[in-house]
A and B are shown apart, each in its own frame.
Chain A
Amino acid sequence: MKLIVNGASLDIDQARTIEELLVELKLAGKGAIVELNQEILDKSQHAETRLANGDKVEIVHFVGGG
């Protein structure tokens, strides 16, 4: 499955949900906040939200700032 993640084109092997995608990218448990096709997802939705070919995913987090 092909996804656009943070602007980069990625070939995903296993992941079928947002939660699985975070695991595959080794970003699980790091405070990732996810937007799927411009819709912001609550953390509780990560496990149930399924991915489809061509989806645009934004993965953001908190960084230092004033």
Chain B
Amino acid sequence: MLKVGNYEFSSRLLLGTGKFPDFDIQKEAVKVSGTEILTFAVRRMNIFDPDQPNFLEKLDAENFTLLPNTAGAKTAEEAVRIAKLAKASGLCDMIKVEVIGDFKTLLPDPLETLRASEMLLEEGFTVLPYASDDVILAQKLEELGVHAIMPGASPIGSGLGIINPLNISLIIEQANIPVIVDAGIGSPADAAAAMELGADGVLLNSAVSGADDPVKMAQAMKLAIEAGRLGYEAGRIPKKRYASASSPLEGMSI
């Protein structure tokens, strides 16, 4: 069970909803992924296009917990405004705090992320900050009272996987709240690796929506996250420099 604030989930995969080729593929990918949490962004409606679809309706969003993000925010104040807009939908009180500090790397601004998280906690949100993989920042966010920490594996959409597994594992080791590895996951192996490090969940988007076959990749991610979690719970063998025979050395007939 993944417990975030007052919410409980049996799936440990959080799926983004951006950049899918079309609604049919997206719906099928969401279904086979087994996810219970979908992320969204908040943007202006096109007031001159009366034919635009209702995105939430297209995805049957009422069957999921919605995790809107504050993407586009460069300051804590902007993030708080976006979070409040999202909450005014009446559909959710969870927020993925995302305050970008640099638009080339899309790396999160740690100071503004911390400040936004504090402000949103005061407003009563369930707060999940997307943060850099900084161990001390993770401590400070937990001290504030955030409901989960979401360190990035590598830059958003890069598909580079976990660049600093040591930091991610230190963040996991010290945390008393869920750690959800967010951003940069490229392949099922990356997702499994995050889970084997002991992550409580993985949030990914482009790895599925940008795959040649998003539906198949959604299933692969589901299985990878389950396999990684089982492997973590089972406890892997230590790594050694030399061999240990798995067949008995006694009783050989030659």
A25 touches B47 (CB 8 A): yes
B55 touches A31 (CB 8 A): yes
- CB within 8 A of A40: which of B40, B52, B61, B85? B85
Residues 8-58 of B contacting A (Cβ, < 8 Å):
16-20, 26, 39-45, 47, 50, 52-57
Number of contacting residues on B, CB 8 A?
40
A residues in contact with B68, CB < 8 Å: 62
Q: In the complex, what distance in Å separates the CA atom of A33 from the CA atom of B92?
A: 13
The bracket for how many chain A residues form the interface is: 20 to 34
Residues 4-38 of A contacting B (Cβ, < 8 Å):
5-8, 10, 25-27, 29-35
B66 touches A41 (CB 8 A): no
Question: What's the minimum C-beta distance from B87 to chain A, rounded to whole angstroms?
Answer: 8
Beta-carbon nearest neighbor of B57 in chain A = A31
Q: In the complex, what distance in Å separates the CA atom of A60 from the CA atom of B85?
A: 8
A59 touches B88 (CB 8 A): no
Beta-carbon nearest neighbor of A63 in chain B = B43
A65 touches B18 (CB 8 A): yes
The tally of CB-CB contacts under 8 A between chains A and B is 103
A66 touches B205 (CB 8 A): yes
B89 touches A33 (CB 8 A): yes
| Interface status of B156 (Cβ within 8 A of chain A) | yes
A residues in contact with B45, CB < 8 Å: 6, 27, 30, 32, 59-61
| Interface status of B90 (Cβ within 8 A of chain A) | yes
Q: In the complex, what distance in Å separates the CA atom of A65 from the CA atom of B100?
A: 14
A62 touches B40 (CB 8 A): yes
| Interface status of A43 (Cβ within 8 A of chain B) | yes
- CB within 8 A of A42: which of B26, B56, B90? B90
- Ordered by A's residue number, 15 sampled pairs between the chains whose C-beta atoms are within 8 Å are A10-B47, A25-B47, A27-B47, A27-B50, A30-B52, A30-B54, A33-B86, A43-B88, A43-B89, A64-B16, A64-B19, A65-B71, A66-B17, A66-B203, A66-B206
* Interchain residue pairs A-B with the least CB separation, the first 6: A65-B41, A66-B16, A66-B205, A26-B50, A62-B40, A64-B18
Listed in ascending order, the chain A residues whose CB lies under 8 Å from chain B are 5-8, 10, 25-27, 29-35, 40-44, 58-66
